[in-house]
Every structure is written in structure tokens, then in C-alpha cells.
Amino acid sequence: MEELNEEPGFTESNPNSPNCPPSANIRFRFGSRSIQATGSASDYDHPHVIRLKIHRTPLARVVQSLFWIVSRAGSAWLQYRFPEWFLPERIVLKPQKNHWEDEFDQEVAAYHKLHRLQGITIPRLYGLIEYNHTRALILSDVGGYTLATPQGAVLDKQDLEPLLCHALESLTELGVCHDDTKLDNFLLVSDEGKDKIMIVDFETADFELSEEDLAWTAKTKTNWLMRQYQNHLDCMEYDGVLRPKRPLRT
């Protein structure tokens, strides 16, 4: 892990503040690269999770282009050894919460165990850094909206249910149970024009369930999420913020 590198004019968002600034200029070091970015809280439910847009200096563009050229020539080792030079423009910074050392370790373990699903059903883990005097994950920004927002609750239940079930089953097939089953941890995203569900937050993931329990859990958790979804739709309709349903993109 690398130490945070602060410079005048750059500030840090407090990852444990309930009122994360709407935007802040952030600077940190990741491996051999010093990164400057503009960040804002991911959403109301995850104020400590910061979505970043990287500022690319002319020098950084040149160096990154060289890394990409060499990598495309057949040196995949470079992406493993120097992930900091293969970052997309938009990433996510997720610092460890206060006194959540074990949960942070559990999330890192989950990403490694679910390596095959990174970028498919879960965010991609690029690496770990030191940020604001604590550990933090560098993750891909999957985009989309959580099912707990009006923008993410735009599918009919019969269209959403199989997407949720498929996403949860992909975890259980690799021996992982997502144990924080609430709507704000499930995002509706578009992948090449098709709808799918991406899952985040693995701080309480369970790796100890039997095969029988894992086979059972995807269905029961899907049912639980669908009940939450219906309650959420009812509340949004009452509040006048419910959006019209749209067809499933397949």
C-alpha cells in the first residue's frame, strides 16, 4: 500500500462523515503513480464510498499509452504488476470504516474468491492504497443506479427477479453468500445495451455455508429482495417519485 500524498489545493473527503462534500479534489498515490481526481459521495446510502474522475496530465497520458501499447503486444504481466497505469477515467475509492478491520479484510477476501466475476457481476478490484490514514480499495465504477433509488427501480418485478437470481447464483456457485441483502447493494446497469445486476459491498460475505445452504440461499435472498422492491415501489408511489416502468433490455 502507498501513503497518501497531500499537496496544497487538494483536500480529502472524510470517509466516515455522514455529510460527504458533493465534490472534492483528491490526490493519492497508487503504486508508481500519483493520481489527482475529483470525487463525490457515491450515494446517500454510501457516503464513505467516493466516485472519482481521474485528472489525466499530458505526461500521464503518454506513460499510460506506452503501457497499453506494450501490454497489447502480449505482456499481460504489466497489467498485473502495474494496475495503476491501466485505470479507466472513472473509478471508486472505498476506505475502511472506523473499527471495521475484520470487515475490510473479509471484503478483500471476497473479491479474490470472486475473481472470475470481477467486471461481470461485481466491480473490478484494481488494488489497495492508504487513504486518509486508513486502508482503501480502488474499484471500478460500474455505473448504473441502486435499486433503492427511483432511477434504479424502473423494471417490472417479473423482469427484475431473474436478473437478481442470476447475479446471486453466480456468487453461490463460487462458494460466496452475500450477507448484506438490501436494495442499495444491488445496481441496475447496462452492459452493451443489456440490463443486468451488479452487486457491491462484501464486508459481511459468508464463505462457510455448505453446498446445500448455498443452493438454497440465492432463491431465498432473491425473494427477500423482491419483497423489499415491492415495498420500495409502494413508498415511491406514495411520495410521488415513482418512475414509469420500461421494457427489459435484452
First to last CA, the chain: 41
Return the pLDDT at 42.
83
Q: Provide the residue range defining the domain that includes 104.
A: 24-140
Return the pLDDT at 79.
86
Return the pLDDT at 22.
58
Neighbours of 108 (CB within 10 A): 17
Residues 37/55, Cβ–Cβ less than 8 Å: yes
Least Cα distance to 188 among 213, 221, 163, 158 occurs for 163
Per-residue buried b or exposed e for 138-147, using 16+ beta carbons within 10 Å of the residue's own CB: bbbbbebebb
Give the C-alpha separation, 158 to 152, whole Å. 15
Q: Does some domain include residue 3?
A: no
- The CATH number given to whatever domain includes residue 62 is 3.30.200
Give every CB contact of residue 224 below 8 A, 6+ residues apart in sequence: 181
Q: What is the count of structural domains for the chain?
A: 2
Return the pLDDT at 47.
84
**119 and 154 assigned to the same domain:** no
Q: Does some domain include residue 244?
A: no
In this model, does residue 20 exceed pLDDT 70? no
Share of the chain above pLDDT 90, in %: 74
| Strands of 70-133, DSSP E | 90-95, 125-131
**28 and 131 assigned to the same domain:** yes
Give the C-alpha separation, 232 to 95, whole Å. 29
- What would the pLDDT profile of 87-115 be if each residue is shown by its tens digit? 999 999 999 999 999 999 999 999 999 99
**165 and 112 assigned to the same domain:** no
**140, 161, 177 — which closes off a domain?**
140
Least Cα distance to 107 among 167, 209, 52, 118 occurs for 118
State the cell numbers at 116: 472470475
Mean pLDDT of the chain: 89
Give every CB contact of residue 64 below 8 A, 6+ residues apart in sequence: 56, 85, 86
**31 and 55 assigned to the same domain:** yes
**136 and 30 assigned to the same domain:** yes
**101, 120, 140 — which closes off a domain?**
140
Neighbours of 200 (CB within 10 A): 21
State the cell numbers at 171: 456468487
- The CATH number given to whatever domain includes residue 189 is 1.10.510.10
The sign of the dihedral angle between the CA atoms of 149, 152, 156, 162 is negative
In this model, does residue 146 exceed pLDDT 80? yes
**140, 175, 204 — which closes off a domain?**
140
